[in-house]
Amino acid sequence: MQQLSQFIRYSFSVLLIITLTACASMGSGTVAQKRQAILTMQDKALTRLYSEKPDTRAQLANAPGYAVFSSANVNLIFLAAGTGYGVVNNNRTGGKTYMNMAEGGVGLGLGAKDYRIVMVFHTKASMDYFIEHGWTAGGNADVTAKAGNKGGSIDGEGYVGSITVYSMTESGLALQATVKGTKFWVDSELN
């Protein structure tokens, strides 16, 4: 039992180090350069989403707002952790709110993946609540084996109240079934 406890502590420590390292994934640069990197990531993610699901272009254009996030996730046996960044776009005002994200969970799995999340806010209240509170919890089960355009993944679409969420894997090798929580918060440096 003591060995299992030590293994879990060790695994958690490794995930924490990986997660903290990934937090710095925006790298150095000016505020303007970091914002531009996020907007470039957003453009690429939306181009892919529109090509795979053409009806989403009108859905995003007609919504009060939408968000696009880039996230990296690591799963090591019983623990999962990840970090990311993105932007919420207010279609009514043209305003942008830059945000960070972190996730943690428990379950079975092994691997790492890089993925994009697009959220469509169907009400202004859901967008405002997300910006102010930004917390979500849920389950996740997926299989990913992808490098560039080679390999495959099971990408999905989900609904959380008045928000539609699209998930697209960029790369990674993962087999996981976890229960996790994700925290989103406003990036004080970029806003």
Tens of pLDDT along the chain (191 residues) come to 666 555 555 544 444 444 444 443 466 789 999 999 999 999 999 999 999 999 999 999 999 999 999 998 777 767 778 899 999 999 999 999 999 999 887 776 667 768 899 999 999 999 999 999 987 655 444 443 434 444 443 445 555 678 998 988 765 444 445 566 788 999 999 99
Dist. CA 182–CA 118, nearest whole Å: 15
pLDDT of the residue at 70: 94
The verdict on residue 20 lying in a domain is: yes
pLDDT of the residue at 157: 53
Which range marks the domain in which residue 139 is found? Answer: 2-186
Residue 68 φ/ψ region, left for φ over 0, alpha for ψ in the -120 to 50 degree band, beta for the rest: beta
The verdict on residue 191 lying in a domain is: no
Q: Is 182 exposed, middle or buried (0-12, 13-18, 19+ CB in 10 A)?
A: buried
Tell whether pTM > 0.85. no
The verdict on residue 167 lying in a domain is: yes
The verdict on residue 51 lying in a domain is: yes
The verdict on residue 95 lying in a domain is: yes
CA of residue 96 relative to chain centroid, distance: 17
Residue 143 contacts residue 153 (beta carbons within 8 Å): yes
Dist. CA 139–CA 160, nearest whole Å: 12
Dist. CA 37–CA 86, nearest whole Å: 10
In order of 2, 86, 141, 144, the CA distances from 168 in angstroms are: 39, 14, 14, 11
The verdict on residue 149 lying in a domain is: yes
Provide the number of structural domains found in the chain.
1
